[in-house]
Amino acid sequence: MRKHVMKSFVSLAVIGVLATLQANAQDFVGWRTDGSGAYPSATPPTEWSKIKNIVWSTPLSAFSNASPVISGDILFICAEPETLLCVHVADGKILWQQSNTFEDAATPEELEERKKALLESAPLMKEKAAAAKELQQARDIFKKTPDDADAKQKVDEANAKVTDINKKLQPFLSCLPPSAHGTNGYSSSTPATDGKNVYEIFGNGVVCCYSIDGQRVWIRKLENPGNSYGWGHSQSPVLAGQRLFVHLNDLHALNPATGETIWTAKVPSSFGTPAVVKIGDADCILTPAGDLVRTSDGKILAPHVSKLEYNSPFIHDNVAYFIDQYDSKALTLPDKPADMLTLDPVWKIKFDKDQKDRYYASPVFIDGLLYVVNQKGHFSALDAKTGATVFEKPLGLGGTCYPSVALAGKYLFVSSDNGVTAVVEPGKEYKEIARNTLEPFKCSPVFAGKRMYVRGSTALYCIGEP
């Protein structure tokens, strides 16, 4: 691995502040801070706009869907396509930023292998682009004339051509840059930090670790994400049981100090982030695809207990909740560890036609109720003991509800990617307190004290009353 040369200047005064934070840092924080999306002691404002209650905003070079991660007086965010940034919480000043390209991570042998693969695959890539265009044109015609047998045959022929080219490209795929849709990009994973170092995984398959003052500790190209149908990678890294977990095609347990692989588990991946659970004295990972994995050795203790495609399992009071458009369920986690475990069902439900839609957002829990929102902004409160719908309400937020529901102090915050957020009072009836508009964002907002932090499409916002 090549020796890293520091690209960003950090003053001695800032390094001193960051060094102090190491001694005072909380345990690991990452996506939705601790995964729950709940900030019970926070007291953020309920009203804001691009000009109202903005403490500071920091313009950023490119978008990212990753959420901010706060560690003491600093926070970490990302920018497309593979940049990690550290920002001062007090004023939004960027303290350092580092790129994490394939070239940053690759050995000379890997660089040469990619160069060769790009040259050899170039003719096939041109054929694929032409075939894809032909397929789209055939599909457009077939949509207009669905009963035309010739139109259907042309779609089948074009589809077969694309499939054949993909087969020919298969030997090159591990060396070629992975694809990612513009909606998702390459930087949708939220960083994780233990207060000493910060860890991140990008959609190019590069995993990295930096000290909080911006010194690169290690970087490596792990593998290309391959199970996302061209949409890219979004699952965030997780720290548990003295391991760093990254889930691309397989679940990898890495040594946080060196980045070396400790074990790999062959379990399916998805877009959501695993939850950290404790079974007796054993640290475990519960994946969105429903595999319960022991952190010490990668042993699968309970396989395929459920399945989520887009959001994450939610854990509360030893119960795991899986909210999905098809079958939503609650399962009790075992009290004692064993090599094979059973998760007992609490409830299983099917949503009605309005609630039955993709759930990109993960839920939040308060006072026995689970609050969920689907992609179209249909908001529901579920009884956590039975799964019964307590109320449901179409919010009309517009756009798509990618951000997860958050609880900050006394209120729920439900957002859409067009920047609209409904502030709702928890309870058995829907009661909206306020509705606010910022610039578009897909991140899940985070909260600390009297402030709310949102990573918008063009800037990072600190929202708070003067």
The pLDDT, as a whole number, for residue 16 is 40
The per-residue pLDDT for 227 is: 53
Same domain, 180 and 196: yes
Condensed to tens digits (0 to 9), the pLDDT of residues 143-177 reads 899 889 999 999 999 999 989 998 898 888 777 78
CA separation (Å) from 412 to 41, 214, 363?
Answer: 13, 34, 11
Asked whether residue 455 falls in the same domain as residue 416, the answer is no
Exposed e or buried b for every residue in 376-401, given b needs 16+ CB within 10 A? bbbbbbbebeebeebebbebebebbb
Model confidence at 8: pLDDT above 50? no
Tokens of 211: 């000290």
CA-to-CA distance for 84 and 78, rounded, in angstroms?
5
In the prediction, which pLDDT does 21 show?
36
Domain membership of residue 166 (yes or no) is yes
Q: Looking at the structure, tell me whether residues 168 and 74 fall in a common domain.
A: yes
Mean pLDDT value of segment 313-338? 95
pLDDT at 271: 94
Residues 433 and 451 in one domain: no
Same structural domain, 403 and 459:
no
Check whether residue 112 and residue 129 sit in a common domain: yes
Q: Which of 192-196, 349-353, 404-408 has the lowest mean pLDDT?
A: 349-353
The reply to whether omega before 288 is within 30° of 0 (cis) is no
pLDDT at 454: 98
Q: Each residue of 105-129: pLDDT tens digit?
A: 988 888 898 889 889 989 998 998 9
Q: Please indicate, yes or no, if residue 95 is contained in any of the structural domains.
A: yes
- Interval 378-392: pLDDT, tens: 999 999 999 999 999
Q: Which one is predicted more confidently, 226 or 380? A: 380
Six token digits for residue 451: 């402030």
- The pLDDT value recorded for residue 267 is 94
User: Would you say residue 103 lies in a domain?
Assistant: yes
| Identity of the residue numbered 393 | K
- pLDDT tens for each residue of 400-458: 999 999 999 999 999 999 999 999 999 999 999 999 999 999 999 999 999 999 999 99
The enclosing domain of 171 has a CATH number of 2.40.128.630
User: At residue 6, does pLDDT exceed 70?
Assistant: no
Residue closest to 456 by CA, chosen among 89, 77, 112, 172 = 77
What is the number of alpha carbons within 13 Å of residue 449 lying toward its C-beta? 11
**How far out from the chain centre does Cα 36 lie?**
14
Look over the chain and give the mean of its residue pLDDT values, rounded to a whole number. Answer: 91
Same domain? For 402 and 462 the reply is: no
The terminus-to-terminus CA distance of the chain in angstroms comes to 48
For the chain, how many structural domains are there in total?
Answer: 2
Report the pLDDT value the prediction gives residue 401, as an integer from 0 to 100: 98
Tens of pLDDT, residue by residue over 45-82, are: 999 999 999 999 999 999 999 999 999 999 999 999 99
Which structural domain, as residue segments, surrounds residue 160?
A: 1-15+40-236+446-466
Tell me, yes or no, whether 144 and 47 share the same domain.
yes
Residue 335 lies in a domain: no
**143 and 219 belong to one structural domain:** yes
Shared-domain flag, residues 390 and 453: no
Are residues 429 and 456 both part of a single domain?
A: no
pLDDT at residue 229 in the model: 54
pLDDT value for 292: 97
Query: Which tokens go with 458?
Result: 């063009």
Tokens of 280: 């007796």
Residue 337, pLDDT score: 87
CATH number, domain containing residue 439: 2.40.10.480
pLDDT greater than 50 at residue 18: no
pTM recorded for the entire structure: 0.88
Q: Are residues 371 and 460 in the same domain?
A: no
pLDDT value at residue 12:
34
